[in-house]
Chain A
Amino acid sequence: MRITRVAAVAAAATLALGLTACGGDDGSSEGTGAGSKSFAAGSTMERLNKAQAIKIGTKFDQPGFGQKGLSGKPEGFDVEVAKIIVKELGIPEDKIEWVEAPSKVREDVIVNGTVDLVAATYTINDKRKERIAFAGPYYEAGQNIMVKKDDTAITGPDSFKDGTKKVCSVTGSTPAETIKQYVKDVATQLVLFDTYDKCRDALKGGQVDAVTTDNVILLGYIAKDEASFKLAGDNFTKEPYGIGVKKEDTDFRNFINDTLEKAFNDGSWKKAWDDTAGKFGAELGAAPTVNRY
């Protein structure tokens, strides 16, 4: 059980550093710098800590989770969770290189080594586990449908079965694949864009009748424009968000799981939520149980 020992050492190191740095609330410099933490030789954690640099894949266009705004830096819940992990690795926040990882390339960038980890509203599922590995989950979303405020005809995914209602989603995303099972005729009912704001604009303009994706994303749009949109019914899938890492890198995965568990307990996870997606009025719920497989 080398892993737990490493984690224990890491935890002890943080604790010690936390004690020495007591009173200083400058979180970004706390416990960082090469060699400030010790990791098992040859592990990904050691490599990253030594290099004092990390590449993280996230979305740049997902309000509340990972959105690159006017500042040129991504902001959101995924970004904050990633920062918690990076801090635990002993790397300062400004050494993170953010790489855009849209839905369709997420596995590729992990497998190719373009990034060290992916936090990008990344649903854990078995098909993806064939190519990569997931730590977490750190949040559980569910697919839902957003319609216009005055729409009563769409009540859930089954409303698309009669072949008249038009729905929009994003190319290569899980929700797009899921909704295909409910749609009668893809050619006349389904529209795919590269971002969800295009879907929202299409819904507002009346070109489509519904937008479908994870509830938290939709809640973000509804929070901004409550007069126009609402959710139609309940979530019809479970989408546990995980952190994607290389398939064979079990050490790193366990390290992230430990870090997440720690964040669940010490309140930093909740704070990350409250500062970002929590503003949209979505429930955080109880901390999920990380799945160590």
Chain B
Amino acid sequence: MSRQTSVLYDVPGPRQRRITLVSSVAATLLLLVGAYFLIYRPLDDKGQFSMELWGPLIDPSNENFSQVWDRLGLGLKNTLIAAVLAIVSSLVVGTLLAVLRIQLKSLTRRRFVGFATPLAYLLRGLSVLLSAVTRVCVEVFRGLPVVITIFFVARGFPEFGVSFDTLWYLVIGLTIYNSVVIGEILRSGMEGLPGGQAEAAAAIGLSPLQSTRMILLPQAFRIMLPALISQLVVVLKDTSLGFIISYEETLNIGKQVIGVLENPIQVYVVIAVLFIAVNYSLSKLAQYVQHRLSRGRKTAGTPAQNPPPAALMSQAEGAGGPI
């Protein structure tokens, strides 16, 4: 990043440094004054900084402190459980989906020579149909808001006589959405690999499935790891949608705490800080992994220097994904 900033403007000389210093001080002052008058003063006037409201959250000697944090701790635990289950199942389903789509794609190109003509046509038609069906499923589930997916799962499953704990509705809802996204990340990763990889695999006699499993998928995982980790952040944030179906995750418990203590702004500030802390560390991890990978790649001289454009896209979508 430092490279980027220095590319856009010259290394400052003494005059420029003075100007920068002065404008820095001015900007800081302006920001502080603005924050004081626009944020601190109105909040203080409304008594939002009183210990009565903050005490139960930050003062260990407060009578409610331990109970509040017991509850919030439970919420955090539930959030993490849902997030871990969702990410694991999304990874599994997403990988399967990516492999399926790659396989179907190669099937649709196959001519099925050696079969009787009608059978060959039938097989080709079938593979085209299957390919289209998976494509439609992917488009539909990728295009629906995850809130709606979770809501539909929670309302729709019991409609068909299947009922689970709310945890599983949340996990299934998140998995449906995220496995499709992860599937697309991996697929574009595999398709972005140089064609020589698959050709070489075929040349040494690997079947398409073997070449996907042993050659393409491991490389795609490697290239896409940062995107996959940012997807983890998305899943973690998405668990907060559990409140819609009464799953007791952090926000929902926060709501219950607010019902008793009546300090909504304070509780939400604490929850926001918790989320930012966890997610920020995760995104730092993603950056670190990306850094490691790009360094490793340079020395190893493997072909894919940059993730294919699709990777960038899914990364942006991943990071910008619902909530």
- Chain A bound to chain B: yes
Please list the residues of chain A having a beta carbon within 8 angstroms of any beta carbon in chain B: 60-61, 63, 67-72, 100, 102, 105, 108, 112-114, 194-195, 197, 201, 224
Nearest residue (CB) in B for A104 is B155
Complex formed: what's the CA distance from A61 to B256 in Å?
7
Chain A contacts of B262 at CB under 8 A?
197, 224
Complex formed: what's the CA distance from A68 to B67 in Å?
12
Is B68's CB within 8 Å of the partner chain A?
yes
Q: Which 9 pairs of residues, A with B, have the shortest CB-CB distance?
A: A70-B67, A100-B246, A112-B158, A69-B260, A68-B256, A112-B163, A61-B259, A70-B260, A197-B259
Q: Taking chain B's interface residues, is the majority helix, strand, or loop, or is none over half, making it mixed?
A: helix
Please list the residues of chain B having a beta carbon within 8 angstroms of any beta carbon in chain A: 64, 67-68, 70-71, 74, 155, 158, 161, 163, 243, 246, 248, 255-262, 264
Of the A-B pairs whose beta carbons lie under 8 Å apart in the complex, a sample of 17, sorted by A's number, is A60-B256, A61-B255, A61-B256, A68-B259, A69-B256, A70-B64, A70-B71, A70-B257, A70-B261, A72-B70, A100-B246, A100-B248, A102-B246, A105-B246, A112-B158, A113-B163, A194-B243
Q: Taking chain A's interface residues, is the majority helix, strand, or loop, or is none over half, making it mixed?
A: loop
Complex formed: what's the CA distance from A197 to B255 in Å?
9
Q: A60-B246, A70-B257, A102-B246 are in contact. List 10 more A-B contacts (CB 8 A).
A: A67-B256, A67-B259, A69-B260, A72-B71, A72-B74, A105-B246, A195-B255, A197-B262, A197-B264, A201-B264
Nearest residue (CB) in B for A75 is B260
Complex formed: what's the CA distance from A25 to B74 in Å?
34
Q: Is the CB of B256 within 8 A of A108?
A: no
Q: Report B165 CB to chain A, min CB distance, Å.
A: 9
Chain B contacts of A114 at CB under 8 A?
158, 163
Chain A contacts of B246 at CB under 8 A?
60, 100, 102, 105
Complex formed: what's the CA distance from A68 to B71 in Å?
11
B68 CB contact (under 8 Å) in A70, A113, A197, A201: A70
Complex formed: what's the CA distance from A63 to B155 in Å?
27
A67 CB contact (under 8 Å) in B64, B74, B248, B260: B260
Residue of A60, A102, A201 contacting most chain B CB atoms (<10 Å) = A60
Residue of B243, B256, B261 contacting most chain A CB atoms (<10 Å) = B256
Q: Is the CB of B259 within 8 A of A195?
A: yes
Complex formed: what's the CA distance from A63 to B259 in Å?
8
* Known interface pairs A70-B64, A70-B67, A194-B243; A108-B259 also in contact (CB < 8 Å): no
Chain B contacts of A68 at CB under 8 A?
256, 259
Chain B contacts of A102 at CB under 8 A?
246
Complex formed: what's the CA distance from A195 to B246 in Å?
12
Complex formed: what's the CA distance from A67 to B255 in Å?
11
Complex formed: what's the CA distance from A113 to B164 in Å?
11
Q: Is the CB of A108 within 8 A of B70?
A: no
Q: Is the CB of B71 within 8 A of A197?
A: no
Complex formed: what's the CA distance from A108 to B161 in Å?
11
Chain B contacts of A67 at CB under 8 A?
256, 259-260
Q: Report B1 CB to chain A, min CB distance, Å.
A: 41
Q: Is the CB of B259 within 8 A of A69?
A: yes
Chain A contacts of B64 at CB under 8 A?
70
Chain B contacts of A69 at CB under 8 A?
256, 259-260
Q: Report A185 CB to chain B, min CB distance, Å.
A: 26
Chain B contacts of A195 at CB under 8 A?
255, 259
Complex formed: what's the CA distance from A195 to B74 in Å?
21
Q: Is the CB of A71 within 8 A of B67?
A: yes
Complex formed: what's the CA distance from A69 to B258 in Å?
9
Complex formed: what's the CA distance from A148 to B67 in Å?
33
Chain A contacts of B70 at CB under 8 A?
72
Chain B contacts of A60 at CB under 8 A?
246, 256
Complex formed: what's the CA distance from A113 to B71 in Å?
28
Complex formed: what's the CA distance from A230 to B6 in Å?
63
Chain B contacts of A63 at CB under 8 A?
259
Chain B contacts of A70 at CB under 8 A?
64, 67-68, 71, 257, 260-261
Q: Report A224 CB to chain B, min CB distance, Å.
A: 8
Chain A contacts of B74 at CB under 8 A?
72
Q: Is the CB of A108 within 8 A of B158?
A: yes
Chain B contacts of A61 at CB under 8 A?
255-256, 259
Q: Report A261 CB to chain B, min CB distance, Å.
A: 32
Chain A contacts of B161 at CB under 8 A?
112
Q: Report B252 CB to chain A, min CB distance, Å.
A: 9
